[in-house]
Structure formats: C-alpha cells, structure tokens
Amino acid sequence: MGDKVGAVLVVGGGVAGIQAALDLADSGFRVYLLDESPSIGGTMAQLDKTFPTNDCAMCILAPKLVAAGRHPNIHLITHAEIEGVEGEPGNFKVKVRRKARYVDPEKCTGCGVCARECPIEAIDEYDEGLSRRSAIYVKYVQAVPRTYIIDRGKCIGCGTCKEVCRAGAIKYDDKDEVVELPVGAIILAPGFEEFNPVVKSEYGYKRYPNVVTSIEFERILSASGPYGGVVLRPSDGRIPRKIAFIQCVGSRDAQIGNEYCSAACCMYAIKEAIIAKEHVPTKLDCTIFYMDIRAYGKDFEKYYKRAMEEYGIRFVRARVASIDEDPVTRNLIVKYVDNEKPCEEEFDMIILSVGMRPPKNAEKLARAVGIELNKYGFCLTNPLSSIETTKPGVFVCGAFAGPKDIPESVAQASGAAAKAMSIIASERGKLVAVKEYPPEKDVSKEEPRIGVFICHCGINIGGYVNVPEVTEYAKTLPNVVYAEHNLYTCSEDTQKRIKEKIIEHNLNRVVVASCTPRTHEPLFRETVREAGLNEYLFEMANIRDQCSWVHMHEPKAATEKAKDLVRSAVAKARMLRPLKKPTVSVIPVALVIGGGVSGMTAAVELAKQGFEVHLVEREKDLGGNLKRIYYLLEGEDPQKYMRNLIDEVNKYPSIHVYLGAEVVEVSGFVGNFKSKILHGGGIKEIEHGVIIVATGATEYKPKEYLYGVDPRVITQRELEEKIYRGLFDAKTVAMIQCVGARNEENPNCSRICCSEAIKNALKIKEISPETEVYIFYKDVRSYGFKEEYYHEALKKGIVFINYDDARKPTVMREGERLKLIFWEPVLQHEIEIYPDLVVLSAAVVPNPDNKKVAEMLKVPLTKDGFFLEAHMKLRPVDFQTDGVFLCGLAHGPKPIDESVSQACAAAARAATILSKEVLELEGIIATVNEDLCGGCRICESVCPFGAIEMVEKDGGLVAKVIEALCKGCGTCGSACPTKAISPQHFTTEQILSQVRAILAG
C-alpha cells in the first residue's frame, strides 16, 4: 500500500463541489476542483433568486466563487474531464484531461475585447439559448475563473481575437493535456441536467415560443438574463398578464421512465411565480398546475402559504393533458381535468417545471471512476448514508446523488468533505500552501488617499443609478485621488484592478459603492489586504439595496442618493484606522450534545479525524429516535445500523460518552469553550473548541382523532412497534396524515410522515395482504426516489384519499366500533368506513429542551422551536455564533440518511476550526480606555454577548473586553457614561462624520 496523499479531487464546481472544496481546503488539505465547463458555478449561477428566502442566487454564490477561486489550497481545473482512476482509498491516481482552451489562463485578464470583436455568434448555453454569445467567450460576467475560452466547434480561426488581445493570451496551438493527479479521496458533485421536454410533445415545447422551461424562465427573470429582468413573452416581447406553471414535467412520469420526484420543482415554481409577480410592473396572474405540492423543507410550507395568501397565486391540482397554441395571439390553451371535469383555459405564457436528470456524462464518469449508477442513472448510494458511493474512498454530494435542493446539496457537500478528510486525516497540512500577504504598509502618517470603485452590477445598479455621474462626483470629494466604475466590482478581474490602482495611485483607503457589505465586504477586505493595506482601511456604500432597488422608478433620486452615500462612505474612510485581528488558540476537542444517530455520527467522524469528542446523551443509552425505528422503506435494517454505530462510538477511546447526562453550563468562545456536564450526580468540567448540537426531536402527541381516548387510535411510530412485535391485527386501517403539522399551530410540514405512512402501509400489505389500508392525505410528499414506494403502494391497492382543511376526516365511536367519515373528492360526497385501527401520522416536534440549550449557547430558534441555522441556503449546519454547529432533527424533520449527511457536514465544518492551532478573529471589536473607565459596569450589563469582564486596576475595577466574544455591536459604546469604551471601526466620530457628510450635500 502506497503512502496516503493529503489532497482531494472534487469533480463538479457547482455549489456542492465548491462547498466541499472550501471545507477541505480550510481544514488543511489540497483540493483539485474540476469542472467540465469553462467556469465553476454550476446551475445555481444561472438562477435568479432562491427559495425560501428570495435571496439573489448570484449575490450569495459570488463570494463563494471568489473564495474558491482565490483559495491558496484550491486548484481549479476547468474545461476538463476524468479519464480514469487507479489506486485505493488514500492513494488514488486520477487521469484528468484538461481540454484545450486556446486562451492562456495565466495571461487572460478577462477584459472581453476579444468577444466584442469576434465575428462569430453561437447559442449562449448559460442563457439557455435565449441569447447569443461569441465564439470566444466567458460563461458569465462573474465567472471564476474569468478566463475566456474559444468554442472550437464554432470558431472559424480568423485570428481576430489574437490581434486584439493586448495580454497576448490567445494560444491557437493549445492542446489537450492529460495530467495525473495523486489524491487521497474523490468527491463527485457533477450535478444534474434538466429534463428536455421536447419528448413530451403534448406540451408543444420548442413548437410554441411562449412555452418555456423553468430554467429558461430563471434566465428570463434574471437581471443578467436575455430580457434584462423584465418578464417577456418570447413570441412578441410583451409582458404577460397570465402565466401558468406545469409541474412534474419529466418527473413522476413512469411513461418516460422517470418515476422519481425531482424534489425541488414545487418550491422553485412557487418562487418563480412570486418573483415573476414582483418583476412585472402590472398585474400578473399566476397559476400552478400540480399533482402534490411538495413543500416539505424547513419553512417551505410557510412560503407556500404566503404564495397563496399574500401573492394570490392559484394552485390547481390537475394533470395537464395538452397545450395548444392560438396561432394568431400565440396564447396557449391548456386542457386539463379538474375533479373529473375537462377544462380549458388560456394563458399568455407557460412554464414547464422540468425535472432533474442525471448529468449528461454520468455513465462515462461512472466508468472512469469505477462507481455504480442506480436505475435512473444517478449515483448509486448507501440508503443510510447517501454520501457514500459503491467505491470506497469515492463520495458523492448534490443532485448527482439524487434530485435535491441547494441546502441539502450544501449539507451533503460538507458531509462528503468529512468522509474524505477521515481517510487522509494523517496527511492534514502536508500539501497546503499558507497564503502570504505582502507586509502591511504603515499609513498612519499619511494623509488619506482614497480610491473609489463604483459598481454597475450589470444593470442591477447601472440600470437605475447613473454610475458614471456618481463616479465623476466621487472624484470631487476631499481626499479622493482616484475613482472609477466597473461592470461588476466583485468580479475577479476587478479585484486585480483594485490592487493595481492601490499601488499605482498610492491609495491608503478604498471605498466600494456596490451592494451589501454582508455578502461582499470580506471579499474586498481580502483584496486590499493582498495589496498591502490593512483590511480595515476599506469602506462600502450600498447603492444597490438602498438606491437602485428601492428607487427603480426614480433614477434621478436614486443617483442623488447614491452620491450622498458615497460622500458618507468617503467621509468615514478618511477616519478609518488600521485594526489588528486578535487570535485565539484552539482546543482540538468537540462537545457533541445528543447521542442519537446524528450526534453519534458527528462524534465518530471527528474521532476518525483524530479529534477528541465529548458526547453527551440525556437518556440512559445511545440511539435516540433510531431506537424505535425497526425497518426502512429501502429495506435496510436500522437496528443493525444503530448497533454498528454504537460499537463504533465505543471503539474510539477519544470519544468520551456521558449517558444520562446533561450539559448545564457553557462559557467561552470559539476555540476555547468551557462546559459543565451534569453526570452521575457530579459535575464534570471540560474544555473544547467547538460544539455540535444534535438534540433531536420527538413525535407529536396528538390531541386529535380520539388519540389517547381510544386505544385503537395510535401513531405511526406505535404502529411500527406493533408490527415489529408481531402484534398487528386489523382488517381495515385508516392512516391520517399531517396530524399536528401544516396547521395554524404548526404551519410546517414534517417531511418524513408521508414516507413513514407508505412504509408502514407496505409493511402491512406484506404481512397481511388482505388488510385494507386507506391513507388520508393533503399532499403526498414522497420526494426524490421515495416516489417509487408511493407507486408501489398504489399498485398494492393502498387507497390514497385527498382531504383539505375544510373537510378533514372525522373519527368517532359508534358502539364498539370506530367510525371514520371522510369527504370523497371525486364522488363529491361523504363516505363512512369502520377501521379497526386509525393511525395518525403525527408531526415531528422540536425537543422541548431546545429552548434551554439555545439560551445556554446563545443561538436562535425558529418560530416552531427548531434550531435556526446561520443561512437557510448556504450555511445549513452552521450557527451565526462561531464554533457552534447543528445537525439532524434539531435542525428540522428529516429522514435518517439526511441526518447522517448533516452530521458528517457538522463534523466537516467543525474540523475547519479544530484543524487550526490558532484562529484569527474579527478585528471590529470594542476597546477600553482604562484611564477614562470609572468601573460602573454599565457596559457589562448591556453587552448581549457577555464579552465584558471587570478586572482590577489600581485598586479599582475597569472593564475589559473578551476579544473572542465581542461581536462589535457597539451597544457598550452608546451606554458608557464616560466614553471610555469605544467600538472600533464604528466610533462616534466616524459615524458623526457620515452624518455630517450626508447633511452637507
């Protein structure tokens, strides 16, 4: 066996691949991030907004793109493919073909002159064919790497680009290059391909111009898209008044061999409908034709409700039979069947919600890597750990492992990173480069020399704010020695420019007027740091959110306001002082709260990487909810899985298990926590660097349907227990879905109950085929590959009956018998049945301890009481508080495999901290001028983070800031009676300078 290699190959540079790469690179491994396409970004880069937060997709992705692009340990290999893999886990040799690009990435500056002059036009794939690009092109403006590429199939070889390229980057004699990469593990994240609806000829896609796919519609919605973000009908460029979405196009369709559900389409359709309504200046009617609305994710149901109630989006449960075009108006006539009644309705435009297909080259990739695919062509995975492929050392994440949305892809990505890390943990730090910054320039004696960079953000800002005018204005401001405007100030080439300008004009302060500092400030700070300036000599003005977005219809006012904001930012920049970032040492130990499947998995994953773990479980034994799960839809034995996992926990001496124990106190901060564990009557004190919250959840105890009154009314979990113990005996079983979920009190969907009901129903049919099973549901939410089991249940004669809130089934006693009355939606009248057993699919409700834990850790909960992550889309297992992570049911209802993925993800995220000896912290914190401090303790009492302690000085008390806890909020500064404590970077003088500047306009 060869030596292990501390490097990982990540195949696919979409959001999942990028996340995996960043986690690995931040934990001390070298990463090769490979993408078939010329730039990373994947499908997410094409999206307009994301659900359920309506964040702009590019705005939240761009910082990650840039972080991956500039990370010293991430090597991008774009426009490349894998040819073969040899070796074993820990030491693979991967043959990679880097295809000729005909442009030298080292020399290309991304200026775009070549594309402007190129006489050849081609279909723009990024815009889904709705626009054209030239034969030499870059995929999109913010692309990383922003290196142009020649489309050899289209290029006529005229030589123009070479002539106009001032950088000398054109390389017509470029050849494919085959390189061999030694890596310890491989992560596959090649994503998916959209279903091509041409085969569903009844929908008229490509025949009727006003029938578009959902991804085409994303481009239509996007400000960077073909129509500049104005929703238009392709046939005549008019703004539609009435549009419809058709769900499940290419999904849940046995006829075309795609039986599975594509998992994300319901939500993206709702999102697209909402965004379309927001983009259209006039009134827009949106209708969604669906089979089941599968809004099963965290807070998705609320989003769905908002779509109905707030936005007036109409939902019609019907399968659309056909679409015809009115040849004169090019309107579309939709034929569908609603409640057995044939209906016809005319729309201006139709969006087909196309499903996910395996990536185009899945088979080739599978052959080259040596993994197996499932029957649909997606990656075959372990049902209990969906990040593992059939080949050891090769992991998978994102849609290639099965259709899924972004947060789940991101969680899987971090999870796959953890799996990869554990194989090569011994090689951590051996192949990484430490980023070197130029020595920091001392600017303290210099007069401020400010450079201002103003962003068009495509048309996001430039479409409404007169950016050149603002730039000219900026040049007139005091101490501004340079100002320019950029199409995208955040793009990689602009970073290069900013650095050049800092040196050229000897700038010692930089102002960027663009979007929000929340997403983009770290990027620009890094840039100024790379140019030798202290990173805090940077200031941002948010002229997108505050000017162009809110004053779209008053461009003059928007421009004037942008000038005010720039003036204010410049005024503050003049007063900026360099700050030092404090550092803390890291105790490489983790505390995991909760010993269910998630907590155990996280503990084992960290132990595999060589970290010490304290695993605290409240109950007397490990296992959590898994203890009461006896079988799974996919056939695996969960009890065996649990026993193995417990054995593994016990195998590691580095995992300290505390049973019947509770964490009662947590203090400290990232890298240096101190906690007290109540265990065996005593208190054990531990020190640790991170915390993983895996406190699980419980089953709702129903108050409905005679539960607790009649013993024949039980929950799914009780039914499972009954079947497992051989106590099941019933001729008729009625299951009622959404008990305690999707109602006023608990608006969210519990995600797992539909599959649980199907699982138990199938089990009943297996042991007692003659038993009749009814499932009363609102929507059947057997998402992803679980859809197969729904089909199987239908085939086995399990009866699914839809109900809505207005007509819930009722359960009563009639003599000795149980009677259930329900409304039959097809027959349109009430029917009675007499079940022997009524099984309630009870909601998953948060652990009642969550509140206590949340307070102790100072982390937030959602309204319904689950833990709230740092960002719903891109940080699914992080908390806002550094060093604290979450996974499993504590985050929200989910099946075992998703809990396992998240647990691995939490381990990977934790490892990015535990793997460092020293952590660099945020520099914007409060400082105390001890001479002024009177020791009154007001600051201590107002600090929300407990970041102030009182220390003795000269016989009195003075305040002292605990740097690692201070978040820089500044509350102390406003409260201090003697102005002794001051939040740096937001000093009173600095803020006043902004106020004065604004009022001076």
Partner 1 sequence: MEAGLRIICFICDWAFPEWSIETPPNVSVIQVKCIGRLDPIIILEAFARGVDGVIVVGCKWPDCHFIDGSLYGERTIRLLKKIMALTGLETERLRLEMVSPIENRSLSSIVEKFIDDIKDFGPLFKGKEADKELLFNLQAAEQAVTWSRLRMLSGRERKLTEKVNVYGERISQEEYDRLIEEALEEEYIRSKIYLITKGKPASVEEISRRIGVDSFLVLQHIVTLRRKGLLGVDRIEGYTPLYKALEVG
CB atoms within 10 A of CB 338: 13
Residues in a beta bridge with 211: 350
State the residue for tokens 């010692």: 508
Q: Which one, 203 or 700, has the nearer CB to partner 1?
A: 203
Rounded distance, CA 580 to CA 249, Å?
55
State the residue for tokens 């692009």: 69
How far apart, in Å, are the Cα atoms of 565 and each of 146, 544, 598, 989? 30, 11, 47, 17
State the residue for tokens 């020293």: 918
Provide the minimum distance between the beta carbon of 108 and partner 1 in the complex, in angstroms, as a whole number. 17
Given phi > 0 = left and psi -120 to 50 = alpha, else beta, which region is 54? Answer: left
Q: Which one, 121 or 504, has the nearer CB to partner 1?
A: 121
Q: Which one, 70 or 330, has the nearer CB to partner 1?
A: 330
Rounded distance, CA 450 to CA 222, Å?
34
Q: Which one, 121 or 805, has the nearer CB to partner 1?
A: 121
Q: Which one, 241 or 367, has the nearer CB to partner 1?
A: 241
Residue type, 468: P
Q: Which one, 383 or 555, has the nearer CB to partner 1?
A: 555
H or E element: which one contains 716?
Answer: helix 716-724
State the residue for tokens 């073969």: 84
Q: Which one, 172 or 549, has the nearer CB to partner 1?
A: 172
Report, in this order, helix, strand and coil percent for the chain, each rounded to 5: 30, 25, 45
Provide the minimum distance between the beta carbon of 308 and partner 1 in the complex, in angstroms, as a whole number. 25
How far apart, in Å, are the Cα atoms of 781 and each of 601, 753, 784, 926, 983? 27, 8, 9, 50, 50
Q: Which one, 277 or 875, has the nearer CB to partner 1?
A: 277
Rounded distance, CA 287 to CA 351, Å?
10
Provide the minimum distance between the beta carbon of 228 and partner 1 in the complex, in angstroms, as a whole number. 7
Provide the minimum distance between the beta carbon of 443 and partner 1 in the complex, in angstroms, as a whole number. 39
Q: Which of 616, 584, 587, 618 is nearest to 602 (CA)?
A: 616
Provide the minimum distance between the beta carbon of 324 and partner 1 in the complex, in angstroms, as a whole number. 18
Provide the minimum distance between the beta carbon of 173 and partner 1 in the complex, in angstroms, as a whole number. 8
Q: Which of 127, 349, 328 is nearest to 238 (CA)?
A: 349
Mapped to the 3 state alphabet, what secondary structure does 154-189 carry? CCCCCCHHHHHCCCCCECCCCCCEEEEEEECEEEEC
Provide the minimum distance between the beta carbon of 57 and partner 1 in the complex, in angstroms, as a whole number. 21
Q: Which one, 231 or 723, has the nearer CB to partner 1?
A: 231
H or E element: which one contains 571?
Answer: helix 555-575
Rounded distance, CA 197 to CA 134, Å?
27
Q: Which one, 184 or 225, has the nearer CB to partner 1?
A: 225
Provide the minimum distance between the beta carbon of 640 and partner 1 in the complex, in angstroms, as a whole number. 58
Provide the minimum distance between the beta carbon of 160 and partner 1 in the complex, in angstroms, as a whole number. 6
Rounded distance, CA 171 to CA 154, Å?
16
Q: Which one, 32 or 227, has the nearer CB to partner 1?
A: 227
How far apart, in Å, are the Cα atoms of 588 and each of 671, 780, 787, 904, 916? 8, 45, 43, 17, 8
Q: Which one, 548 or 982, has the nearer CB to partner 1?
A: 548
Rounded distance, CA 46 to CA 778, Å?
33
Q: Which residues bind partner 1 (CB under 8 A)?
A: 117, 119, 121, 130-132, 156-160, 162, 172, 209, 226-228, 230, 232, 234-241, 281-282
Provide the minimum distance between the beta carbon of 325 and partner 1 in the complex, in angstroms, as a whole number. 12
Provide the minimum distance between the beta carbon of 453 and partner 1 in the complex, in angstroms, as a whole number. 21
Residue type, 329: T
Q: Which one, 239 or 821, has the nearer CB to partner 1?
A: 239
Q: Which one, 10 or 284, has the nearer CB to partner 1?
A: 284
Q: Which one, 141 or 452, has the nearer CB to partner 1?
A: 141
Rounded distance, CA 552 to CA 721, Å?
60
Residues in a beta bridge with 861: 867
Q: What size, in residues, is the chain?
A: 1001
Rounded distance, CA 107 to CA 101, Å?
13
Terminal Cα distance for the chain, rounded = 72
Given a contact cutoff of 8 angstroms between Cβ atoms, the answer to whether 92 and 183 are in contact is yes
Provide the minimum distance between the beta carbon of 329 and partner 1 in the complex, in angstroms, as a whole number. 12
Q: Which one, 146 or 909, has the nearer CB to partner 1?
A: 146
Provide the minimum distance between the beta carbon of 349 and partner 1 in the complex, in angstroms, as a whole number. 12
Provide the minimum distance between the beta carbon of 196 and partner 1 in the complex, in angstroms, as a whole number. 20
Provide the minimum distance between the beta carbon of 542 and partner 1 in the complex, in angstroms, as a whole number. 25
How many CA atoms does the CB half-sphere of 776 hold within 13 Å?
A: 28
Q: Which one, 153 or 682, has the nearer CB to partner 1?
A: 153
Residue type, 282: T
Provide the minimum distance between the beta carbon of 162 and partner 1 in the complex, in angstroms, as a whole number. 7
Q: Which of 237, 6, 265, 984 is nearest to 572 (CA)?
A: 984
Rounded distance, CA 992 to CA 158, Å?
59
Rounded to 5°, angle at Cα 555 from 552 and 561: 100
Rounded distance, CA 470 to CA 834, Å?
75
Q: Which of 62, 63, 69, 59 is nearest to 21 (CA)?
A: 69
Provide the minimum distance between the beta carbon of 845 and partner 1 in the complex, in angstroms, as a whole number. 48
Residues 6+ apart with CB under 8 A from 259: 252, 253, 376, 787, 788, 791
Q: Which one, 95 or 171, has the nearer CB to partner 1?
A: 171
Provide the minimum distance between the beta carbon of 277 and partner 1 in the complex, in angstroms, as a whole number. 14
How far apart, in Å, are the Cα atoms of 688 and each of 611, 692, 883? 10, 11, 10
Residues in a beta bridge with 178: 97
Q: Give the phi and the psi of residue 625 in degrees, each rounded to 5.
A: -65, -25
